[in-house]
Amino acid sequence: MTATEIEIKKDIRLLTKAQLTEIVVGFGATKSRGGIIYDWLWKYGVGNFDEMTTLKPTLIEQLKAEFTIKPIQEHKIQRSDDGTIKGRYKLHDGHLIEAVLIPIPSENRYTVCVSTQVGCSLTCSFCATGRMERKRNLDAGEIFDQVVAINKQSMASFGHPLTNIVYMGMGEPLLTYTNVLRSVELITEGLQMAAKRITVSTAGIAKMIKKAADDKVKFNLALSLHAADDVKRHQIMPINESNNLETLIESLIYFCKARKKRITLEYIAFQNFNDSLEDAANLVKICKRFPCMVNILEYNPIDNAPFLKSAEENIDLFAEYLHNNGIMVTFRRSRGRDIDAACGQLANKG
């Protein structure tokens, strides 16, 4: 099939179940065929029509004539000594994205970190993806495909399905909000993963956090905070200029009240930048304003970035200060150091 033919044909995965049913009835098939096709797409995650083996050949040919499926394709896989598996995937238009499997067998936890955009427009100074121009948003199917692909990796490598999904890869999920919501719907309904196992991580888009609350989303919310005062956050995250901390805090309070959910504050510890006890004290003040926990992240350095990971003793003191002030805190060590594990590194490479 040529590129021109693909563009002319409609992407069948953009259709609802009702639309599919209407189309197959128009083809002369029964209404039930629409639901069966929908299941093939979203329960079994097939990438072409010939895999829909319960359909009559004539119906398959009718579908092929009118529609196309645009699954992501595995492009490169990297495996870390610590078990982390990073996949680079090629989209139908040639763009590259990445998804990461983070296995922690001792905790029976197998997490996939998925991308939501090709590149990113937020230009956070510590992030490899921030150096890539945002090309486009991923559609719901392309997000769904990452989960399916990494679930297969998890089963093949560890004999265990995914237990958690984090929207924390390339891109800002709340800037492709409709597609993210649709992908969550497909994952929870089609793959039968509970929404409580899904976390959407944002750099901080206050109005969209409030919209998520109004929409009664069932997923968990995490904020990539990384600095507990506006001066420092301005330096590393330009989004803070239009969504300062007070604006963000108000939106998080709104979300917590509306959804009765605790927020996770992600906090990368940078050496001699945000890892002092004064920084910890500022963070405690924020945490006291709404239900939350703090997840301290060890930095995975990228080329030509002016940051180093904080010393372990500094992180210990920082975490201890939070704990002593009644804040729930965890520390997550960097994974996949021996591969291109930092967000955007692998997709940026040839």
Which residues form the catalytic set? 98, 343
Find how far residue 204's CA is from the centre of its chain: 14
Beta-bridge partner residues of 199: 166, 220
Phi, psi of 67 (to 5 degrees): -130, 165
Contact (Cβ atoms closer than 8 angstroms) between residue 26 and residue 65 = no
Q: Which of 350, 347, 263, 341 lies closest to 309 in space, CA to CA?
A: 341
Q: Helices marked H in the chain — which ranges?
A: 3-8, 17-26, 32-42, 57-66, 140-158, 177-190, 206-214, 230-236, 245-259, 277-287, 312-324, 345-348
Contact (Cβ atoms closer than 8 angstroms) between residue 138 and residue 182 = no
The token pair that represents 326 in the structure block: 């009644």
The token pair that represents 25 in the structure block: 């009835």
Contact (Cβ atoms closer than 8 angstroms) between residue 174 and residue 205 = yes
The token pair that represents 307 in the structure block: 């940051």
Residue labelled with tokens 């769904």: 144
Phi, psi of 199 (to 5 degrees): -125, 130
Q: Which of 91, 92, 93, 173 lies closest to 129 in space, CA to CA?
A: 173
Which residues touch 236 (CB under 8 Å, ≥6 apart)? 124, 125, 126, 226, 227, 270, 273
- Cα dihedral value 169, 172, 178, 184, nearest 10: 30
